[in-house]
Structures are given as structure tokens and as C-alpha cells.
């Protein structure tokens, strides 16, 4: 059973955000998990993902971005979003200093994490994990959002669905190939950006969440010094 603890994180300039630390008794690593643009840290996807990750001994620190904390609809400017990522990573390291640290998130949360890591390595973070990297706006293919990934120095795991309208796999595969050994792409058949799968897949959304958690755990465990 994982214990969940509420935290407050100071981003700076008087800005504070809420966070939830979910730490199973036998946690082997900790993932700092940012939310997507339209839903906060308590969205059902984030809640269920944290539960599945706890089931494979991965602790999570979910946190709000300031605009979500303040119940505004429009995301903050990128500089404030990346500052929040940095503050959350620091808070996670202080909360569980003995656990190997990873960072990432759902959609925008993942992209802001990689942008922060491209600007300056995130202290203590061994790798980045993207739950649906938003390579481009819906149905508007492009790769400009991936340009900063060349500056990320740690391994990256891309968890993507074949029906994701924010990441055309014909574009994402070459992006990952160019990143070389730093990038691992794990594709989930018929999953969309929210990781919903078609009935014809013969799988449930719950099974997909379990796969996301298991792949996260196995990939993180394969990084040197984290097993």
C-alpha cells in the first residue's frame, strides 16, 4: 500500500503550488510527474497512473503548474512552467533523497520537463519519461517542438499511441532515431493521446495503464546505477 503525502512547493517570486507524493513501502525509484495542459495532478489519468506505478515500486511526485493551482485555463509562460519543473525536482530530491530520480509527465508536463532539462541538466535526474510527447498541435504535423531534445543529456523514454493526433509516428520515429541511444520509443497499438485504446485491440484502458507503468519501471531499472 502506498502512502500519499500532500506537499507545498515554492517556485519563487511568491508563487507556490501543491504536490502529492505517493510512495510505496518498497519504492525503488521516484518519478516527478507533470500534468497535461488541460487537466491537473488529480485528473483520473494521473491518479490511476500513480497507482499503477506504485504497484511496480515507483514512487511519484505529482505537482500543479501555477495556472492550474490558480484555476486559470491558459497555461503559464514557458519560463514559469520550466521553473516549476525545476522546483518540483528539487522538492522530490529532498522528500526522498535515497531514491534514484526521474522526471517527465503527461503531454505538456513531459515537454516542459524536457525543455527545462535542455536549458540546464535537472540535478540528480537519471532520465526523462514522456507519457504522450506532444510533438505538434493536433493534426498539424511538425517537429519544431522536438528541436530542444538534442540538448537533453540524459536517456529519454517516449510512450506513444499509434492514434495520437499530437505525435505522428512517421515524424516521431526519425526524431528518436536522431537522438540515438538516448531515446527509447515504446509504441502502444490503437492508443490515442489519452491512451484510450480501441475495442478491437482486445485490451482495456486499465491494461494499457499497467503497461505504461511496467515499461517505465523496467526502462528505469535498466539505466546504470538505478536497478
| Residues ≥6 apart with Cβ < 8 Å to 141 | 168, 171
**What pTM did the predictor assign?**
0.96
60, 31 contact by CB (below 8 A): yes
Name the band, by pLDDT with cuts 50, 70 and 90, for residue 194: very high
Query: What average pLDDT does the structure give for the chain?
Result: 96
The whole-number pLDDT of residue 227 equals 54
Express each pLDDT in 51-88 by its tens digit. 999 999 999 999 999 999 999 999 999 999 999 999 99
Superfamily of domain 2-221: Alpha/Beta hydrolase fold, catalytic domain (3.40.50.1820)
* Rounded CA separation 220/15 (Å): 32
Q: What is the mean pLDDT of residues 7-33?
A: 96
The whole-number pLDDT of residue 139 equals 85
Express each pLDDT in 102-139 by its tens digit. 999 999 999 999 999 999 999 999 999 999 999 999 98
Whether pLDDT at 225 is above 90: no
Cell 519519461, residue located: 129
Q: Return the domain boundaries, the chain.
A: 2-221
Name the band, by pLDDT with cuts 50, 70 and 90, for residue 155: very high
Amino acid at each position: 500500500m502506498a502512502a500519499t503525502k500532500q506537499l507545498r512547493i515554492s517556485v519563487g517570486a511568491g508563487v507556490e503550488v501543491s504536490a502529492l507524493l505517493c510512495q510505496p513501502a518498497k519504492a525503488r525509484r521516484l518519478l516527478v510527474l507533470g500534468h497535461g495542459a488541460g487537466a491537473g495532478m488529480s485528473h483520473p489519468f494521473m491518479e490511476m497512473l500513480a497507482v499503477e506505478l506504485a504497484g511496480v515500486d515507483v514512487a511519484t511526485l505529482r505537482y500543479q503548474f501555477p495556472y492550474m493551482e490558480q484555476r486559470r485555463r491558459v497555461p503559464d509562460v514557458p519560463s514559469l512552467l520550466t521553473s516549476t519543473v525545476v522546483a518540483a525536482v528539487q522538492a522530490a530530491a529532498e522528500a526522498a533523497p535515497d531514491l534514484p530520480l526521474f522526471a517527465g509527465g503527461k503531454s505538456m508536463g513531459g515537454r516542459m520537463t524536457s525543455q527545462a532539462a535542455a536549458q540546464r541538466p535537472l540535478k540528480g535526474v537519471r532520465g526523462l519519461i514522456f507519457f504522450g510527447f506532444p510533438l505538434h498541435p493536433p493534426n498539424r504535423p511538425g517537429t519544431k517542438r522536438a528541436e530542444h531534445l538534442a540538448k537533453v543529456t540524459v536517456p529519454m523514454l517516449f510512450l506513444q499511441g499509434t492514434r495520437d493526433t499530437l505525435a505522428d509516428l512517421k515524424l516521431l520515429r526519425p526524431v528518436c532515431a536522431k537522438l540515438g541511444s538516448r531515446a527509447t520509443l515504446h509504441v502502444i497499438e490503437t492508443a490515442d493521446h489519452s491512451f484510450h485504446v480501441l475495442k478491437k485491440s482486445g485490451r482495456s484502458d486499465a491494461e494499457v495503464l499497467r503497461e505504461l507503468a511496467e515499461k517505465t519501471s523496467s526502462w528505469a531499472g535498466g539505466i546504470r546505477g538505478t536497478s
